[in-house]
Structure 1
Amino acid sequence: MKIGQRRSKQRELILEELKGLTCHPTADELYELVRKRISNISLGTVYRNLELLAANGVILKIETGGKNRFDGMATPHPHIRCMECGKVDDVKHEVDTPKLDISQSRGYLVKGCSVEYFGLCPECRKDSN
């Protein structure tokens, strides 16, 4: 992991836990998992390390308008998000993202593109019936 900072046992454990998940946890949810292995880790440490890992492209940060969620798979891929509970899942379908040339980017320096579908997850659909 090359992120411009010294290696940290806590950071490596946070990354290991995140990469072992198929869901997209919030920092709070990941903190509860990591705390089982390092009982004295602080929530702030988990938040700081997730932000650092995301800023350096090691993981994805999924901004949901509420609590951010994190994905251990850093390569761009589409997601589907529940508008009710905020759950995020991967979409197992290739999506071609359009490329913008400099004349189309309106002066922005484009760093990436994300595709997100949204709706109601099965649990929230069941609860609304």
Structure 2
Amino acid sequence: MEKKQNFSRKRKAILEVLRGTKSHPTADWVYQQLKPSFPDLSLGTVYRNLSRFKEDGTVVSVGVVEGQERYDADVTPHSHFVCTVCGTVLDVEDEFVDPESDSEVSRILGVRVLSHQVVFRGFCGDCLAKLKAEKGK
């Protein structure tokens, strides 16, 4: 019985860590944040819970960035920007997402769209500044 309670506490902690950051973390980052408070936490437990959260719609996957899946606990409709140099992931406010696009795509293709995701890629502000500084030399 105690094991189930620990599992629930760990699951809750994983979700709280995700909800407490805007950094779009990896499973490894979540694990590193919680390991001091939960010494018996395994990376497998983090992955299993993240998978469960994705399945039930509690979190979304932003996609794989630099070889690791990134997660977002903000499930409201919005897009993301991914820096192709450093891997930073930023939220793009929902005014760039047309709420009618799902129904329009459904109508045009004769399908039923359940969700969509838009990802912008390029240089973040820091990497852009470094690139400009290097060109100025």
Matched, 1:104 2:108: yes
SS of 1:63 mapped into structure 2: strand
Structure 1: where are the runs of 5+ without partners?
1-6
Q: Which residue of 1 aligns with 2:16?
A: 16
SS of 1:47 mapped into structure 2: helix
Indicate the structure (1 or 2) with the bigger Cα radius of gyration. Answer: 2
SS of 1:68 mapped into structure 2: strand
Superposition RMSD in Å: 2.0
What does the per-residue CA deviation read over 1:83-128, in whole Å, with 9 as the maximum and x for residues that have no partner? 122221111351215123545236x542211121111123333444
Aligned counterparts of 1:55 and 1:125: Cα–Cα separation in 2:
36
Larger relative contact order (Cα-Cα within 8 Å, sequence gap ≥ 6)? 1
Q: Which residue of 2 aligns with 1:79?
A: 80
**Identity score, percent:** 35
On the 8 A contact 2:105/2:113 being kept in 1, the answer is no
- Structure number having the greater helix percentage: 2
Map 1:42-121 → 2, pairs under 5 A: 42-64=42-64, 66-95=67-96, 96-97=98-99, 98-99=101-102, 100=104, 102-105=106-109, 108-121=111-124
Normalized against structure 1, the TM-score is what?
0.82
Q: Out of 116, 125, 128, which is 1:125 matched to? A: 128
Displacement, 1:51? 1.1
Aligned counterparts of 1:103 and 1:94: Cα–Cα separation in 2:
22
SS of 1:73 mapped into structure 2: coil
Aligned counterparts of 1:69 and 1:80: Cα–Cα separation in 2:
12
Displacement, 1:29? 0.9
Change (3 A) 1:102 1:120: closer
- Structure number having the greater strand percentage: 2
Aligned counterparts of 1:102 and 1:63: Cα–Cα separation in 2:
23
Q: Which residue of 2 aligns with 1:27?
A: 27
Displacement, 1:64? 2.8
